[in-house]
Structure 1
Amino acid sequence: MTESTENMVLRTVYLPVDIDRRLKDLGFALGITKNELIRTIIRDGIGAYAGQTFEERLASAAAPAPAPAPAPRRPREAAPKAARQAAFEPAE
C-alpha cells in the first residue's frame, strides 16, 4: 500500500551503502517500498523516544549492550562412594 504524498515533506538523507542495502532487502521481504519502510522505522523510533528526556535518550543510546547471560552450569556428578572413601584413606 503506497501512501499519498499529500501532506508530506521531501527530505534528502544520506545513508551508508550497507544500510541502504539492508533496507532494500527488508522492504522486498516485507513487500513494501524502501520509502514506506523508512517512514515506518522513523515512526517506531519516535514512538520509542516518546516521554523520554534528551538525557535519557542519550544515555540509552550510549549504554553498552548487556552482556550475554552465562551458560548454566551442569552439576558435577558425585564420584561413587568407594572412590570418595579411597581418596581419604591412607596409602599402604
Structure 2
Amino acid sequence: MSVNTVERILWEFGENPERIGQFQANPVEYLSHYQLDDEESKALTEVDLKTLAELGVSTLLTMMVWPMINGPEGMPFAYLDHMSDEKVSAPPAS
C-alpha cells in the first residue's frame, strides 16, 4: 500500500487541475507513472474514493477531489452518498 503516492496524485489534481483531464482521458496511462498496487490503481481508475479512504487515504483529499472530478453539483451530498453507501438527505430548510 502506498498511501503517500495516492495522496500525492490527489494533491497534484488540486495543484494542477489540467492533470484531472489527463487522468480522465486515459486513467491507466496516467497512473502508469506511479508505483501503485492493483487495489489502488483500480480504486483510482474507478474514482472509488470510499475504498481509498478505507485504505488510509486522507478524507480531506478525497473530499477536495470529488467536485473536481464529478463537478460541484450535489456537493456535499453526492460525496456523502458515495462515502456512506446510503442516500444522505439535505437538512430541511428552516
TM-score by length of 2: 0.21
TM-score by length of 1: 0.22
Q: Which has the larger radius of gyration?
A: 1
Q: Higher helix fraction: Structure 1 or Structure 2? A: 2
Higher relative contact order (CA 8 A, sep 6+): 2
